[in-house]
Amino acid sequence: MGKNKEGNNGRPFEIPRPTFPKRAVVTGGMPYGNKELHFGHVGGMLVFADTYARFLRDRIGRENVIFVSGTDCYGSPIAEGWRVKVKNGEFDGTLEQFVERNHNKQKATLDEYGISPNLFGASGLGRTKEIHAEVTDLFLRSLYKKGQLSKITTQQFFDEKAGVFLNGRQVIGKCPVEGCTSEKGYADECDLGHQYMPENLINPVSTLTGETPTMRPVTNWYFNLRDYEKLLQDWVEELKKRKDVRPVVWKTISEFLKPPVIYVKREFEEKYLSLKSQLPEHEYFEEPKKPSFTIQFSALTDCDEACRVLTENGIRYRTGKTLVPFRLTGNIEWGVPAPVLEGEEPHTVWVWPESLWAPISFTEAYLESIGHDRAEWKDYWCSKDASVYQFIGQDNIYFYGIAEPAMWMAQQTSTDKTCDSPEGELQMPIIVANHHILFLDKKASSSGAVKPPMADDLLSHYTPEQLRMHWLGLGLGQRSVSFMPKPYNPDAKPEDSDPVVKDGLLLSNVYNRMIRTAFYTTQKLFDGVMPDNAPEQQFLDDAKKTVLEYERHMSKFAFHQCTYVLDSYIRNGSKYMAKALREDTPPEEAAQALANLFYIIRITGILLHPMAPFGTEKLREYLIADERIWSWDTILEPINYFTGKQHKLKFLPPRTDFFTRHESQFETEKAE
């Protein structure tokens, strides 16, 4: 399954190595089309997706890896964002022009950071819009034919003063889910990703008029998510055994795989007891140390009926996390057209479901763009020797870890399969969820009190590679971590070091100096021709150990551990250089020392290539080597394996840097 090729003139790796698929899709969560990218989009998720995609391209071959992401064009956040900007005189174009402008800005930002999707699509623009609409229609019709969709009538918020139904972002209240502190609960989900029925939202207010909206019945298509509770529980048990799935994923999924419950404030206990006979059958749990008691139901419909009775009688309560029917359609105009399945009025698809299969649409669009048959998407999404890696933030685990796998399971058992292919069924994606990346120790949000810095603005203070290395080293796979850039930190003192700059010094100071020393010494002693000496055995052994350790951590998405491995290897190489290459080192000794040093530089370069692409590609340019130098098939070979003997390097002018600090950081030093 994985490529465990021998390297370094046939010397094998002696220990078992992690295996990798023959083909892979890497996806990055899609940013909404109502805004430019802020630091959380890039530093909390997309840098990690890009790093892993680049690693896989080197590890299994770039022709076998498709990295897709794109702008989430549809839904109420975009429509409402456009409406507000037009109202305030900040934009005067159409909704589609608004989305296109933001999409182009997002794409330009990714280019600045070296984030390299094969396709950064847009669900509502151009050819990707057309393909996405086709995939959406096929996907929903397949679920319908399988009998996994239900028409459910619910209450939707209606603004009597404005005379309109309110879309998801035009009503705001407090999330009703127990334990959630979000004050930004929208129609049927809060900003932390919790799902609930609209009528359970606490203290709803219309954002159009500020009035309390009423409720009117609407009918939509829902996916029967609760039918997959047992399959999801079995899947979670499998996830617990996997080393490449972070605990936050299966722990979060497990929270929703419980019977529906209601938490009632203890002050209402007497009133509850008087109404107990009016409620559907349930269990009562005392829980004396808590400020509320719990009532548990066997069916979600019973829980909903109990909520209605409690509300009518003025009893305050919170609902627990549980599986609820997953809404697929809505009445917002700005959305992917939903198929008309039973002669109903035309609807659009709710943005969250269609964004889950958008990466399939984008895979098809990419394959078409390079002249391949769109049907080849099945080789990447359905084949058992392929894998899909989905990089997301922890707030979105409900959608990618519950709703999506359940719909994938439904397609697997469908007689009209979306993935009807001899290659196999839709494979369960590997979910790589990062914890929150905080800003100055607070959770930042474009719609919250603490505004995150925009990704483009950060590039006025740092280089892309300083930021990439800093974010990759934060350990977001283990815990929530704060991003503390000194220029944005009002509490920072002049003498305090900047954590972003500090993390970048490994490259801009240590590794950069190693490369320059190797080149300048070669130019001085050997007219720029690399010595043909083979690296000494201890350097071969050190490289093999480092490569294996790095590979093991990368297979588990432990990016911060990979940066630690590189830190140790680079610093040890720098110490060797200081001892072995001195002004008085004889040429014959210098030749061997340079062979060893260039080998260290080469091994570092290939391991660093996914993380710091600009500097490593510049290194390849001056080595005058082709892209084979990045392939893991020959990872332990020295540089002259690719270039041949008596290879002359590209001339390196004085004071040329491969990795550097931002110009503003030099200005700060002068000022201080």
CA 552 to chain centre: 21
Query: What was the pLDDT predicted at 417?
Result: 47
DSSP lists the bridge partners of residue 24 as 65, 387
Query: What was the pLDDT predicted at 491?
Result: 92
Taking the CA atoms of 278, 279, 285 and 288 in sequence, report the sign of the dihedral they define: negative
CA distance 499 to 485: 7
Specify burial of residue 7 (Cβ count, 10 A radius: 0-12, 13-18, 19+).
buried
Query: What was the pLDDT predicted at 503?
Result: 93
Closest CA to 390 of 223, 142, 557, 230: 557
CA distance 179 to 321: 9
CA distance 619 to 601: 9
Asked if residue 440 lies in contact with residue 482, where contact means CB atoms within 8 angstroms, the answer is yes
Asked if residue 189 lies in contact with residue 295, where contact means CB atoms within 8 angstroms, the answer is no
Query: What was the pLDDT predicted at 249?
Result: 97
* Predicted TM-score (pTM) above 0.75: yes
Take residue 206 and report the two structure tokens written for it: 């219309």
Q: If you count DSSP H runs as helices and E runs as strands, how many of each does the chain have, helices first?
A: 23, 20
Query: What was the pLDDT predicted at 191?
Result: 79
CA distance 381 to 420: 11
Which residues in the chain land under pLDDT 50?
Answer: 1-10, 414-417, 421-423
Query: What was the pLDDT predicted at 317?
Result: 86
One-letter amino acid for residue 279 of the chain: L
Q: Which residues contact 178 (CB under 8 A, 6 or more apart)?
A: 261, 263, 318, 319, 320, 321
DSSP lists the bridge partners of residue 28 as 391
Asked if residue 547 lies in contact with residue 603, where contact means CB atoms within 8 angstroms, the answer is yes
Query: What was the pLDDT predicted at 51?
Result: 98
